[in-house]
Structure 1
Amino acid sequence: MVTALEVGLLYAIMALGVYLTYRVLDFPDLTVDGSFTMGAATAAVLIVGGVPPVLGMLAGTGAGVVAGFITGALHAWGGINPLLAGILTQIGLWSINLRIMGRANLSLLRERTVFTPLREAGLMGSWWSVLLLAAVSSVAVLVLFWFLRTAYGVAIRATGDNQEMASSQGVNTAWTKITGLALSNGLVAFCGTMVTQYQGYADISMGVGLVVAGLASVILGQAIFGMSKLWQAIAAAALGSVLYRLAIQIALDNGLDPNDMKLVSALLVVAALLIPKWAPLRRFRMKRRHGAPPEPVSEVPA
């Protein structure tokens, strides 16, 4: 249970990146699979080379920002379909990540990472490490909430809500898309730098299918905790990551074959997509039962 919480809190930062593109920009970005590995690979290579872990994490995050920038530029300036732009960048990053690591797998077991002090103190796998990771995820939630409430953050949100309206108000929608994608993949890459140090290795396939896990986290969390307010939608995405990892852990503990995890992820996404569709119907019946007219349901974060 504690391990599942640790992993869920680690991946919560990735879920925030997916939320930024999927919910805020309404952009189906598949770059996530490649930028996550790119952040992990960059940090791992630098740490093995003797660079302090924090600097390695900054470099990995920057690499993710560049990956998101490329996807945004392909779409905004090249006129390429959003889905295809993400696929093209993701495919290219596979080869780039192999070049960065020089091999398919890179071990960090003998290297000093940001988690080394916790392991030496015997705190990993305890509630203390859970609290620490919860604090890191909470900071990420607060920073994203603050940014999306700034003038530029509002412009990014407006671009996702109605690009034509935002453009008519003088917003450079090409740059807001590029910026949003760069920030999103920066968050995803930062998560990759944390995960590779947590598990002790970087692998070329560690990001495969990650976008499905991110979508599952965002949709599941917002279906359960709601998304009527901006802070609520952001926090729900992070909490959804924890719920998703707990659900996976429970399934594994009850005899699930690890090879079926992708299927479970897909089923969780389907379930999370169906929950909101049934919720308005339940509220409608409850209102009718009590003789009051139903209230309109808004799914757009304030």
Structure 2
Amino acid sequence: MDFYITALIQGLCFGGIALGIYLSMKIFNIPDITTDGSYTLGGVVTGSLMTHHQSGFVIALAVIVSGAIAGALTGIIHTKLKINALLAGILVMTALYSVNLTILGRSNLPLLGLPGLFMSINFIADNPNQNALLISLIFVAAITLAIGYMLKTDFGIAMRATGNSEAMVRALGVNTDRMKIIGLAVANALTALSGYLVAQQQGFADISMGIGIVITGLGSVIIGETVINWLQITSVWLSLTLVLAGAIVFQLVLAFTLSIGVDANLLKLVTAAFVLVIVGLPRLTGRAA
């Protein structure tokens, strides 16, 4: 049972990535590869500040700001320099590797024994796994409520409209470049928060922890989007909840894969295959119909 509780915790920790990719790809239609770098950035900033015994509030704030700066840089390169969004993300992600390595100071930094989020708060003192699950649930619920509220405001509606019809929104006097920059900043701040949670949950920060992480986020979003389209859901709150549920389902599937004896070395292959199935199945089903 603890194995699957750990998978649930991992799914919740990846909720920030799922929400971030949902914002960038589904709200703004921007394939943002900055995710790989900003996720690692969140982890290394967390690890570095934890080893310097900074408070939890300072660490979380630093992670949000650093992730937002990374996303804003991608947005500025894309909107102001008129560089393709995919290439802009790749450029920032590549630069972040050096930034992350400089912040971390080495390739791997152990965090075991340091007073992190999951050790400082004790709702269930006699069961660390259940305690971590509850903390993760509260943390992710808080950021989901914040994003949901933002998307329901006039500013959030303008952001959503920018993704749906940029020309129309620009004709109404909205600065669409600013919307994209802010949207990518928010998306990567969420991604960095996932790195913040995962680094503390797994007990170390690693320079390569973000490699391929965009696939995990994309798979989570696709699972949620499949249900959203199937049920024809228009509610922002329910859409965000289903995206989070997609992150949890994704991790549970990987946990099940390991539990039936699949070699851990093949996990990335299984991940890619699972995402391919999720992407391809609705289309194959549609053709068959």
Instruction: Quickly name the TM-score band, shorter chain normalised.
Output: over 0.9
Partner of 2:60: 57
Q: Separation in 2 of the partners of 1:241 and 1:129?
A: 17
Alignment map for 1:10-49 (pairs within 5 Å) = 10-49=13-52
Decide whether the 8 Å contact of 2:109 with 2:205 is kept in 1: yes
Q: 1:7 aligns with which of 10, 17, 39?
A: 10
- CA 1:279 to 1:168, structure 2 compared with 1: closer, same or farther past 3 Å? farther
Partner of 1:121: 125
How many pairs were matched up? 282
Q: Separation in 2 of the partners of 1:279 and 1:224?
A: 14
- Judging by fraction of residues, say which structure has more helix: 2
TM-score by length of 2: 0.92
Gap regions ≥5 residues in structure 1: 286-302
Alignment map for 1:95-244 (pairs within 5 Å) = 95-117=98-120, 121-126=125-130, 128-224=131-227, 226=229, 228-229=233-234, 230-244=236-250
The 3-state SS of whatever aligns with 1:139 is helix
Deviation at 1:279, TM superposition (A): 6.1
Letter in 2 for 1:265: T
Deviation at 1:129, TM superposition (A): 3.4
2:271 aligned with 1:265: yes
Letter in 2 for 1:32: T
Dislocated runs of 4+, deviation >4 Å: 278-282
19-28 or 216-225, larger mean C-alpha shift: 216-225
Letter in 2 for 1:62: V
Partner of 1:291: none
Q: Separation in 2 of the partners of 1:201 and 1:121?
A: 22
- CA 1:59 to 1:22, structure 2 compared with 1: closer, same or farther past 3 Å? same
Decide whether the 8 Å contact of 1:44 with 1:56 is kept in 2: no
Look at both structures and tell me which one has the larger radius of gyration over its CA atoms: 1
Q: Deviations over 1:11-70 (max 9, x none)?
A: 112210111001111000000000011111112111101211221121012100000010
Letter in 2 for 1:112: P
Q: Deviations over 1:115-163 (max 9, x none)?
A: 114579233222x432332232222222211111111111111111121
Gap regions ≥5 residues in structure 2: none
Identity within the alignment, %: 37
